[in-house]
Amino acid sequence: MRRFFGDTGTLYALATVLLIAPFFVFRDIPLYDLPNHRVVLQLLFGDVPDADRYYTVEWRLVPNLAAAAWVAVFHHMVSIDGALRLFLAATVAQLFWGSIALHHALFGGRNRFALAAALFAYNGPLLFGFINLSFGVGMMLWAVAAWIRGRDRPWALPVFAIIGCLILLAHVFAFAIYALMLCAYELGAARERRRRWHRELVALLHLAVPAALYAFAMPHVIGGGIAYVSPLTKLSEAVGAIGFYNPVFDAASLLGIVVAVGVAAHRLAFAREMTLPIAALAAAYIALPHQIGTATFVDYRVPPIIALVLCASLTWRDSRRRPRAEAFVLALFVLRWLVTVVQFHAWQTEFGAYRAAFAQLPQGATLLPLRRNPNIVEPAMHPPLAHVDALAVSERGALVPDLFAGLGYTLLRYREPYAAFATQTPTAALAAHFDYVLLIRPNELSPAQMPRYRELTSGRTFILGHIER
């Protein structure tokens, strides 16, 4: 056992293999928003027969392109589904290894406290399906690590200007966090080194390049207002640092980690130069609203970033191995991984039932999905079925009204006249425009929420019917 824990490469490799394995084992990867993202990628790259009657692609520069850019490159080598799986594997590996890289930049790789980052790789935003954001956050961690090591090099300004642009293209929120982290780090560095602030400002000039790219070459359509949540809800959202689908288990896991860190605090050292960056992240979490226009769960995206940066910013005070602490981390990680894998496996049957039902639809069917309240996200409602109707687009080239299309930072849009009834919150009032209805968890729907229909088939959590005029 001691020999095993003495081998850093073995531990990191084991954690990486476990993190990426689920993306290649299951047919359906049940991230909350992923069915929509998958079908959008299929539509972007022409993998859905007959769907072009309903949808069209509007290629443009938007700050939300991580998955689309990845699939654009790799779908020439593997299928679109295979390219998406590689993207998800790269995303979760980046979150883990980006934290390790930042830890090494801060401490020189003297020990491996950053192993704890594996606990936060399957975080709430990733499981929610914020895949472009999660990929961009992984890029951000690598970039901050590179900045700490190379910020004074002659090539720093042009190289990091390019890196900043790439992070922006991956996701605008990831770039905002990158800029916040660097500004806070440089402010702390100026105080630590007792240098004048304008010297640090020169080092940050590279941020002007991606900022100009966003200002002059990208759309800024957000629309809508700003909505905050209560302090209690915001506190509960911190559990998103470690998970999404199991709120009680996730909260217990996070509490266990906090207690363990508290017990071992006297043996831990903190990278002082990360004080202001972490304080800035915490302030951003407190200050950010829950919704800005069409962008939802805005503040929810910050806690996992804080957790990953903290894993990179802590280390043991001496160079001796801490096998008990690492055994605790690895045991909790494996337990959480097993829970995730067991759930993913259990949900495959349900997704298979939907696929079998959609096979009965004619090619190019128009399908109206209905559930109790599309505005409410219920993490503990298993399996996640909010966007399961997107499978009908993949399987039958169907029209559904709630794809990620025609929104501010998307490349897909609906053709006319279908754009008129595109919505993320479909209701029975749209029944006149559709031929088929999918009732998701119909026992939760009231009669007023359902149109008249003739049942075609049903499953444990759905009824598929033909709408009667």
Please report the beta strands in 271-411, taking only residues with DSSP state E, as ranges in sequence order: 291-292, 295-296, 314-316, 367-370
Nearest to 52 by CA among 414, 408, 312, 464: 414
In this predicted model, what pLDDT tens digit does every residue of 11-48 receive, in sequence order? 899 999 999 999 999 999 999 999 999 999 999 998 89
The one-letter code for the residue type at 118 is A
Does residue 45 lie within any of the structural domains? no
Does residue 463 lie within any of the structural domains? no
Give dist(CA 448, CA 443) in Å, integer. Answer: 13
The one-letter code for the residue type at 81 is D
Does residue 364 lie within any of the structural domains? no
DSSP assignment of 409-452: T-SEEEPTTGGGG--SS--GGGGGG-SEEEEESGGGS-GGGS--
pLDDT of residue 4: 41
Total structural domains in the chain?
1
- Between the two ends of the chain, the Cα-to-Cα distance in Å is 69
pLDDT at 312 over 80: yes
Q: Which of 4-8, 65-69, 137-141, 226-230 has the lowest mean pLDDT?
A: 4-8
This prediction has a pTM of 0.95
Q: Which two tokens stand for residue 67?
A: 């998955």
Does residue 432 lie within any of the structural domains? no
Domain that holds residue 267: 63-326
pLDDT at 110 over 70: no
- Over the range 176-196, which residues count as b (16 or more CB within 10 Å of their CB) and which as e? bbbbbbbbbbbbbbbeeeeee
pLDDT at 197 over 90: no
Nearest to 353 by CA among 458, 454, 260, 432: 458
Does residue 355 lie within any of the structural domains? no
Does residue 420 lie within any of the structural domains? no
In this predicted model, what pLDDT tens digit does every residue of 317-340 receive, in sequence order? 875 657 788 889 999 999 999 999
Does residue 443 lie within any of the structural domains? no
Give dist(CA 157, CA 161) in Å, integer. Answer: 6
Does residue 413 lie within any of the structural domains? no
Give the helix/strand (H/E) hosting 393: helix 390-396
Give dist(CA 344, CA 461) in Å, integer. Answer: 17
